[in-house]
Structures are given as C-alpha cells and as structure tokens.
Structure 1
Amino acid sequence: MADDARFAFIVEWYEELAARTRTFQFFYYSGSKSIEMFDIKTRKMFLKTNISASPIELQDLYIGASINVLGRQLKIVDFGDEFTKRKLMSKLERTLGYVMPNSLDKLGEIIHAIYDRGLLISKLRLCKVEHNDAYRLHEEDNKQSAMNINAITSGPIVAFELVGENAVQRWQELVGPTDPSVARSEAASSLRARFGKDLLHNAVHCSGSPSAAARELEYFFPSCSKATFTNCALGCNTTLCLIKPHAIKAGLAGKIIMAIQDGGFSFNTIQMFHMEKANVEEFLEVYKGVLHEYPGMVSELASGPVIAMEIISKSTDNVAEAFREFCGPMDPEIARHIRPRTLRASFGVNKVQNAVHCTDLPEDASLEA
C-alpha cells in the first residue's frame, strides 16, 4: 500500500436535531490518518480533518463498524470504491463465537486470548438462547445437534463478532478440535484444550464456515431489527462497570474482566455498544461543573465502543461500594501509590483514560445498571 493510500466507505450519521439519517462518502488516508467526508446528496464537502488527538486506525474501518468523528457517531454501511473493497475484503472477514454457559467464569481469559491472536471484537452481548432458535442455529450439525442444543440452552452465553484477516480460520484454530480431549493432545494451547471438559462442555463455539458465520451473526446481531433475547439484568444489589474505549482499543478488555473475576466479582449481563455524545453528556451530567475533566470524560466515552457490565458479588451486601473500592481512585497515578492492586492503578493512563467507569454513589447503582 502507498504511504498515504486513500480508502473509501459509505457512512451514515443520524442527525438528532433534524431527526434524519444522512449518508456520506467517507475517505480515510492511511498515512496521515486524515479524513474527508462528502454529502452524497449535495456532493459538497462536509468535513475535512486530521484526527491526530485520537487517531482512527485502518483496522477500525469495516462494514458494520461505528466510529466517532468530532462527536458524530458514524456507521459504516458499505465500501466506497473497488480499490477499498479489493484491498480490505479479505482483511476484514467476520465470524461468530460464543462462550458456553459453563465457561463464563473464563470469559476474561478467552477475550484476552482473542486479542492476543490479533482478532478484533466488534460486537459482544450476553443472551439466553431458546430451544427453537438453538435448533435453527445448529441445523447444519445433525450429529451433535441435540448435544449442542442442550449445552447452548442450559444458561446464558456471551456471543461476539470477530473481525480480522481470515477470521473464520484463525478463530477455528484458536478454539481447537471439538472434543477437548482431542484438543489437549493435538492443540494443547487451544481454548477447548485449556477450558473444555468434554463434548457437551467444550467451552466455546466457532462458526464452521463463512456462510455459517453470516447466518449465526445475523441471529445474534441482526442487521435490520432488534434482537429479542431475554433480559438477564437483576438491578438489585448490583452496580455498573464500563470498560472505556481506550482500554478496549489497547486490547486490555480481557485482562480487565479477568481481574474483575479474580477479584471476587462476576457479571449478570454484559454488552458492547457505542454511546452517542448526547447520551454520554446526560449519563455523566452529575460530574458537570464538578470535575474539570468532564469534557474529556465525555469525549472518551463517545470515542469508541464501551463494554458495559452489571456487576454482582456473593461476598458483599453492598456491591456498589465494594466495586468502587476495587476500581480505585479516579487518578491512576494516585491509585498506583495508595491502591496499587486496583483496576485503575493496573490499567489506567490518566484521569480521563482511567480504564473503567464505575458507579460512585450507592443510590445511583440501580439507575446506572
């Protein structure tokens, strides 16, 4: 590729004030990381900028991705030209994976392994699959259909979309053979070798082919309608944790979830999503006029995907307070001196990019969660 190759996409932006969706040509220059946007209807330039403070990387740009440009949440809906399609199609293959009910306590380790392999998690959610849907999901797998259906419907699972070059094959290799006993002899470092117990409890699922991946992704992350999965949220003696965009982009989400699980906490529900700037401003309004970092806090949460978790714990009657202590002081530098084992001490960069947001006031826990 040229040093400043131009990649073209079609993006959509929902303009709240006008209550309309606008479509743009979006040009990204890989060398300078600069951006140009043209309104497709008027053919006039809408925006030209160099996002040097929070650079968008080429790997962030794929069909279905949401990116934030100067407070505008853009959704990439198509390639903009044949050059971009030809260059990026194989590099941006998508596939589906999910963690089985019996292995949710290993979710952090599994996510860390995914990032370590160089794959990107673009979507993630906890859900409960019903029997009828499970039959449809495994219609191509006649031999183990009943076994898979019993496993997938025995409790909540965490499903995710993975993006990367040859993602289907690379995810299959990371997962390993279907039978964990075979995996331990043939692929000892695979996820099923490490976390699987038997054929029924083999830790994780991977799509068998690109066509299967497309079908399964449409079920878990439908393109045209909202999914109707059972809501697993409790809302009683729970609290909220948001893994911030900078930590996700740095590949730290798995390590943070591992630390949370090792710290005696778990989650009742978990989901990756993007927050519009207006929603972030409302969510963080309690800090407006109180913390001078407020504008930066808003920009950070709106800059990319967040992972939200409803945190629970069996070891305390006040989860909100216990988890706030576990997160540590807002300033990671202070945390590293007085609370070195906290999340912000371990994974934070500064007061704005401090790895996680947690509920500060116990009375707000049920509202945020």
Structure 2
Amino acid sequence: MAFNRRLSFIAEWYQEEAAIIRTFTICFFPTGNAIEVYDQQHKRTFLRRTKMPELSERDFFIGSKINIFGRQFDIVDYADDITKNTLDKYRKKTFLLLKNICIQQLGPLLCALIDSNFSINRALMVQFTPEQVKQFLSNKRNVEASSMLMNQLIGGPSMGFEVIADNAVQKMKLCKEQSKECSNDNTVAALVTLFEREETRIGIYCPQDEEEAEQDLNFFFNPKNGLQATLRLKNSTLGIIKPHCIKDG
C-alpha cells in the first residue's frame, strides 16, 4: 500500500558526550512525511514513527545531513535493496563549476538550483594554480574547450558545487544546451531561464556524462589535491543561514 511505502537509510550520529559515532536505521515514509529511527547498537526503537513536515523525500540521499529534533544524522548508505533500487537509479550527483568570469551569478545560480529541485550537497570556492588546472583537465576529451577553460580558471577564484537531483548530469547538460526537452519541463524552468544568457552558459561548466562528473567531484573535493580556499576576510562578521530558513525561501 502507498501508505506503507518507506525508504530506509543507514545513518550515523556523533554523540559528543561519549565521543562515539552511533549507527541508526532511519525510515522515511513519504506519505505523511513521517520518520522512524532504530538504534542498531542497542537493537531498539530510538524514535517511533513521527511526522516531520519539514522533511521531504528529496532530503534523503547518501551524503545528506538530516536534523531530527536537534540531532544531526549523516546518511551514509541505503538500508535495503528496495530503497537502493528506487533512488540510486535516478538520484544522481553532478558537478558544477562557477568560473570567475561569472561569479556575480552565484545568487541566481543558487536560486535556480533550489527552484529546479537540485539539492546542494557540497560547495567550495578555490583559486586554481596552473598545475591544478592541468590535473583537472587531464581527463577532458574536448581539447579546444579544455584550453579555454584553462585560461578562465587561472584568472581568479572559482566555485564548485556537488549537486544532486533525478538524472542530474543529463538534466543539467540539457538545460545548459537549451534543449527543447528541458524547455518543455516546468520543473527546471528556472535553470533554463538562467542559461538563456550566453555569458552564463560560458561562465558555468558542467560535465558531459556521469563518469566525467564522478572524476570532477573526486578531484575538486579531495583535500589531497591542495585546492586553496580563497576566502580571506578582515574586519568582518559571519552570518549563518540555517537549513529550515533556506527551505522557507
């Protein structure tokens, strides 16, 4: 029955008082937006089925962080084959790189991603060195495009994103290419509008297929590659936007 449909995930919670990581099974019931949490270590229910209207199916994917009554749970794996087969087939990651020449489009890009049901999982602003650009471009098949990208990336700070959505790689690629397939899809209307401007299409890089997306993500977010964070501020303060505020717009 649709009412009993559930998605199950393995999640970890760091218990600060004991300095240990505890493992749980989180079940999400899309009908009614309810969750249930089971403590694997003590083999008992940690939280009975409870409605949480602030959560939705798109919040649950490997790598996401779920806040449940003040506790942050990290989703690390699927808990059963049904969930894996349901989500893994469609829920995909892709990489976006906002180049320095288009950095002023950061706000519109974030809004377009959220409005188009893309989840932003990771983001990092960096300054590439020429050697790092060569490493990043080493697996690119389009030599001419790679040469242009080289010049753009060493010209100033760039910002990379790991985003997740249904068929994310293909959907982003088609939106950027202004494909008719995406033009008729209201769910990505915000991205289609964003990419109508030629300077935006030039200023945002996205991979061509899932293999390239995986390579880009592994390179960009791997600390061993030594990408230098560019944020250096003086006489400033910090404002933190909490997740529930982002969801509320």
Give 2:241's aligned amino acid: I
How far did 1:248 drift? 1.9
Higher relative contact order structure (alpha carbons within 8 Å, sequence separation ≥ 6):
2
Distance in 2 of aligned mates of 1:227 and 1:80: 32
1:160 corresponding residue in structure 2: 161
1:42 corresponding residue in structure 2: 42
How far did 1:13 drift? 0.9
How far did 1:205 drift? 0.6
How far did 1:194 drift? 0.8
Where do 1:104-183 residues align within 5 Å? 104-141=103-140, 142-176=143-177
Distance in 1 of aligned mates of 2:47 and 2:104: 45
Distance in 2 of aligned mates of 1:71 and 1:124: 23
Distance in 2 of aligned mates of 1:86 and 1:74: 22
Distance in 2 of aligned mates of 1:22 and 1:158: 33
How far did 1:102 drift? 1.0
2:102 corresponding residue in structure 1: 103
Give 1:212's aligned amino acid: E
CA contact (8 A) 2:25 2:79 kept: yes
Post-superposition CA distance 1:54-102 (Å, at most 9, x none): 5311110000001111111111111110110111113311100011101
Which residue of 224, 238, 241 corresponds with 2:239?
A: 241
Give 2:67's aligned amino acid: N
Where do 1:284-363 residues align within 5 Å? none
How far did 1:118 drift? 2.7
Q: Equivalent pairs: percent with the same residue?
A: 29
Give the 3-state SS of the residue equivalent to 1:124 in structure 2: strand
| Structure with more strand by fraction | 2
Greater shift in the superposed pair: 164-173 or 226-235: 226-235
CA RMSD, 1 decimal: 2.4
Post-superposition CA distance 1:121-140 (Å, at most 9, x none): 22222122222222222223
CA contact (8 A) 2:97 2:161 kept: yes
Distance in 2 of aligned mates of 1:190 and 1:209: 22
TM-score (norm: length of structure 1)? 0.58
Post-superposition CA distance 1:301-349 (Å, at most 9, x none): xxxxxxxxxxxxxxxxxxxxxxxxxxxxxxxxxxxxxxxxxxxxxxxxx
Distance in 1 of aligned mates of 2:226 and 2:13: 25
How far did 1:49 drift? 4.4
Give the 3-state SS of the residue equivalent to 1:3 in structure 2: helix
Give 2:210's aligned amino acid: P
Give the 3-state SS of the residue equivalent to 1:18 in structure 2: coil
Matched pairs, number: 234
Q: Which runs of 5+ in 1 are unaligned?
A: 178-188, 253-369
Give the 3-state SS of the residue equivalent to 1:97 in structure 2: strand
1:74 corresponding residue in structure 2: 73
